[in-house]
Structure 1
Amino acid sequence: MSNYTKLPAILLLEDGTVYHGKAAGKIGTTTGEICFNTGMTGYQEIFTDPSYFGQIMVTTNAHIGNYGTSDEEIESNNIQIAGLVCKNYSIPFSRKQAKTSIQTYFQDGNLVGISDIDTRSLVRHIRNKGAMNAIISSETLDVEELTTRLRSVPSMEGLELSSKVTTQQPYYFGNENARYRVAVLDLGVKKNILRNFSDRDVYVKVFPAKTSFEDMEHWTPDGYFISNGPGDPASMPYALDTVKKILAADKPLFGICLGHQLLALANGIRTEKMFNGHRGINHPVKNIIVDSCEITSQNHGFGVVAQDVVESEKVEITHINLNDKSIEGIRVKGKKAFSVQYHPESSPGPHDSRYLFDDFTEMLVA
């Protein structure tokens, strides 16, 4: 295994920047939009978060793999990232609770990565140049060949990806005798979101992304949840139609991340691709309704157009990002409907925002 990590690999960015490093995971080639996460822990949750589908992840923490992998720390049943870039790739692990090494985990999941990269330099480059596509290869180091392959990779802007990560069949989560029932539109939902509902005496039925409002309504839920997920929210007319019908029926609705963007679109607010998204577990957000601050977990490359929200007569702002003043939360006037851009389930990460699940549960009371 130690010899494996010494195999050469290459990372090529869309703007022609090249980094040389060592192979990590499966030997092969992979493409996607490159982004970075500033979290100091929780790498396995990042790898399995469906919102990262189609993205090459740069981890800013210096050591990846040192605490191994565990079946208890997944957000979905598969690795979702398109590739990994890291500094120190640690195959030996020291945690008793871990089941396998990160190398075994990546090989079983067919994940191609690259290590021994100066991730500080790379992150600064991405911050200055913005999000862009990239390619990792440990099977060819021919830059010209990789450049040709990279040109064929589509931009994340305009991509519809939720249909690629959603469940294929409806399923249930929690206690069927729970007090409340919530229909979850699965655009890439995380397991810890479902656990937060179950912890609040909520029984959920998770529906495929393209399920109609009418089909979900047959289950007679007390409310609806629109999940997080990957891709461009403006490329999802099927989900937008569903959200509009939920609002028209005056049903309680809660959205997170992609669900937040769709709630905005349903109220005439545009979304846009960010120069660099928010990805980490220490983003400060202010709840302007109760005048308090919370540290949040975030993962998004798209956001709502702030000016549209300010000018909207349909929604009001509930949360703002204290770093860049972007809109982090809205609620619809006259409706039991609200959303946040960040991830209140936050596992791992601070639990400052889990009160939002309580707020939604209170809305379910007839």
Structure 2
Amino acid sequence: MPLTASVPSPSTADPRRNSAPRPAVLVLADGLVLRGTGFGAVGTALGEVVFNTGMSGYQEVMTDPSYAGQLVTFTYPELGNTGVNPEDQEADHASIRGVIARQLSPVASSWRQRGDLDPWLKAEGVVGIAGVDTRALVRHLRDGGSINGAISSDGTEAVTLLEQVRRAPSMEGLNLAERVSTEQPYGWETLCPAGFDQRLQARPERPFRVVAIDFGIKRAILERLVAHGCAVTVLPAGSDLAAVLAQEPEGVFLSNGPGDPAAVSSGITLARGLLQQQNLPVFGICLGHQILGLALGGRTFKLTFGHRGLNHPCGGSGLVEITSQNHGFAIDGSSLPPDQVEVTHINLNDRTVAALAHRQRPVFGVQYHPEASPGPHDADHHFGRFVALMAERRTT
């Protein structure tokens, strides 16, 4: 599938140096008001205010569909220092609604740079605010939890923004997966020619036929499936069991995505149907993992401030993986039927469920991101695990 996103050409000088700073304001639903300087698009953006602890990969975060409906606070103190390029995008366009930064770098310097962050955000319609004390904001979110907010750089008064924010819906109960999903099926069978991580594994003579359900899938996931020897057909989030089985898959992948997993009723129904198929491997990541847990009879709940970053330790059976994560909901481990489901990994920060596996069927899910774009790559072996289940199925 070709990369279609456009990236502005690199500028020889920072355009912000040629114009006066644009005032911007951040307002949270609890009444907190923070003022700074606007960048990116001029306008007002409402969404859930969250934070990401990664020290790199800001473009991957901004284009990850799992961040749909959110205003992302970056804890790393500077953004824009490596510019932007089309190879680092996880989708055609940015998915976040707003960016909150301590500082926007006046200079971008990278051999991979194809453009600057500020004009790219303008083109994508993403509103940003810089000059904010992000350390204080993150502590506020950790203490009180993720909360709705608004960024505005168009002169809207804080009191008006507060009224709008308090009328905005909570993330709980929102089915955002179908909003970001593909409308039409498509195939992904070859690696992109440049930019993506192309660590190749031992590839079978005949690729494994995988159907991926797109709840907000990242390109890096498709790339890792192909690198491990799969030919992938991507189907929309609302696809039913008949549509999936019509592809004669050797395995089914349930993707990451935004919103409340309990609201994705079509995905839960599909997963229940897949669990009834004889010996069909099923692998879920993030939202797909949560949908599997719900299909298996479990419950999900909203985390106070979520897990978002590249540095979350998860463990099981004496092993620890440093993982990339992006989710605001989790599976209630006590709600899973112990005779059917094993919790194989836990998040070592807060002991929430990080991975599960069915005890009798070739079905498993991980809450974190094994594709880990931009990193780390500790958990990449889960793609090999999925392929091994399909290879075993071929021989039985």
Contact 1:269/1:312, CA 8 A, preserved across alignment: no
1:234 aligns with 2:234: no
1:333 paired residue number: 359
Deviation at 1:268, TM superposition (A): 0.7
| SS at structure 2 position matched to 1:61 | coil
Choose the corresponding residue for 1:35, options 50, 54, 65.
50
Q: What is the distance in 1 between the residues matched to 2:147 and 2:262?
A: 19
Partner of 1:364, secondary structure, is helix
1:48–1:76 CA contact under 8 A, matched in 2: yes
Say yes or no: does 1:312 pair with 2:308. Answer: no
Question: Which SS does the other structure have where 1:198 is aligned?
Answer: helix
* CA distance in structure 2 between the partners assigned to 1:163 and 1:5 by the alignment: 40
Distance of 1:249 and 1:271 partners within structure 2? 24
Shift of residue 141, structure 1, vs aligned partner: 4.3
- 1:269 equivalent in alignment to 2:295: no
* Residue pair 1:159, 1:231 contacting (<8 A) in 2 also: yes
Provide, for residues 198-243 of structure 1, a one-character-per-residue CA deviation record: whole Å limited to 9, x for no partner.
Answer: 0011000000000111111111110100000000011111110100
Distance 2:44 2:96 in 1: 13
Structure 2: runs of 5 or more not aligned: 1-14, 192-204
Name the structure 2 match of 1:355. 381
TM-score scaled by length of structure 1: 0.97
Matched, 1:92 2:107: yes
Q: Which amino acid aligns with 1:305?
A: D
Give the structure 1 partner of residue 4 of structure 2: none
SS in 1 for 2:266: helix
Residue type matched to 1:332 in 2?
H
Shift of 1:5: 6.6
- Structure 2 Cα separation of the partners of residues 175 and 84 of structure 1: 33
- Structure 1: distance between partners of 2:246 and 2:150: 45
- Residue type at the aligned position of 1:287: G
Partner of 2:311: helix, strand, or coil? strand
Q: Give the residue type in structure 2 aligned to 1:246.
A: L
- Hey, what does 1:107 align to over in structure 2? 122
1:1-366 correspondence to structure 2 within 5 Å = 1-2=15-16, 3-4=18-19, 6-175=21-190, 178-250=206-278, 251-288=280-317, 291-309=318-336, 312-365=338-391, 366=394
Looking at structure 1, the residues matched to 276 and 350 of structure 2 have their Cα atoms a distance apart, in angstroms, of 33
For 1:201, give the aligned amino acid: G
Q: Structure 1 residues 313, 121: closer, same or farther in 2, change over 3 A? A: same
Contiguous gaps of at least 5 residues in structure 1: none
TM-score by length of 2: 0.90
Distance 2:316 2:210 in 1: 25
CA distance in 1, matches of 2:178, 2:20: 35
How far 1:246 moved relative to its partner?
0.6
**Separation in 2, partners of 1:345, 1:287:** 19
Three-state SS of the structure 2 residue aligned to 1:117 is: coil
CA distance, structure 2, for counterparts of residue 166 and residue 71 of structure 1? 20
Which amino acid counterpart does residue 203 of structure 1 have in structure 2? A
Offset of residue 178 of structure 1: 4.4
CA RMSD of aligned residues (A): 1.3
Once residues 352 and 276 of structure 2 are traced to their aligned partners in structure 1, the CA distance between those partners, rounded to angstroms, is 27
Q: How far off is 1:175 after superposition?
A: 4.5
Q: Distance in 2 between matches of 1:117 and 1:178?
A: 53
Are 1:9 and 1:22, in contact at CA under 8 Å, matched by a contact in 2? yes
Deviation at 1:351, TM superposition (A): 0.6
CA positional deviation for 1:179: 2.0
Q: CA deviation at 1:97?
A: 1.6
Q: Is the 8 A contact 1:91 1:103 kept in 2?
A: no
3-state SS in 2 of match to 1:189: coil
Larger CA deviation: 144-153 vs 21-30: 144-153
Q: Which segment is superposed worse, 3-12 or 18-27?
A: 3-12
Q: Matched residues in 2 for 1:9 and 1:276: separation?
A: 24
